[in-house]
């Protein structure tokens, strides 16, 4: 299965960018909620540094994941599907070929 050399039409790019944005906003909203929860139960220094480690890891992860590059989109969408930040029907409008690849990769 060749996944990295897909061509993206202008319409597909638009759909991809929108889906990207939706997933990003969902993930950030969930993260904000989680940070608020964790913060409310901080009782000692270790909890603080655990929160710091958690934020460092999430920031690194999110910065990397949402770096929009067309060549990596199939993989990123598969990951977003797998992680639950996106649903396959939010990629409607992409070619059937792309959606099949994304769905297949998301189950790996």
| Residue span binding its own copies (CB under 8 A) among the ranges 3-11, 50-58, 69-77, 99-107 | 50-58
- Ramachandran assignment for 93, one of left (phi > 0), alpha (psi -120 to 50 degrees), beta (any other): left
Under the binding rule (CB under 8 A), the answer on residue 45 touching its own copies is yes
| Residue span binding its own copies (CB under 8 A) among the ranges 2-10, 33-41, 80-88, 100-108 | 33-41
Task: Answer whether 77's CB lies under 8 Å from 91's CB.
Answer: yes
Which residues, listed in sequence order, are joined to residue 107 by a DSSP beta bridge? none
What is the distance, to the nearest Å, from the Cα of residue 58 to the centroid of all Cα atoms in its chain? 12
Under the binding rule (CB under 8 A), the answer on residue 30 touching its own copies is no
Under the binding rule (CB under 8 A), the answer on residue 22 touching its own copies is no
Closest approach, Cβ 12 to its own copies, in A, equals 26
Under the binding rule (CB under 8 A), the answer on residue 42 touching its own copies is yes
Q: Which of 77, 35, 40, 72 is nearest to 55 (CA)?
A: 35
Under the binding rule (CB under 8 A), the answer on residue 31 touching its own copies is yes
The end-to-end CA distance of the chain, in Å, is 13
Cite the beta strand spans of the chain per DSSP E: none
Under the binding rule (CB under 8 A), the answer on residue 64 touching its own copies is no
Q: Which residues bind its own copies (CB under 8 A)?
A: 28, 31-32, 35-36, 38-40, 42-45, 47-49, 51-52, 55-56, 59
């Amino acid at each position: 299965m060749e996944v990295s050399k897909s061509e993206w039409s202008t319409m597909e790019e638009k759909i991809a960018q929108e889906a990207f944005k939706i997933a990003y906003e969902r993930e950030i909203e969930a993260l904000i909620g989680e940070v608020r929860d964790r913060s409310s139960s901080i009782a000692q220094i270790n909890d603080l540094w655990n929160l710091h480690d958690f934020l460092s890891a999430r920031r690194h992860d999110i910065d990397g994941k949402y770096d929009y590059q067309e060549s990596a989109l199939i993989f990123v969408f598969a990951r977003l599907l797998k992680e639950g930040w996106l649903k396959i029907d939010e990629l409607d409008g992409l070619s059937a070929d792309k959606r099949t690849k994304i769905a297949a990769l998301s189950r790996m």
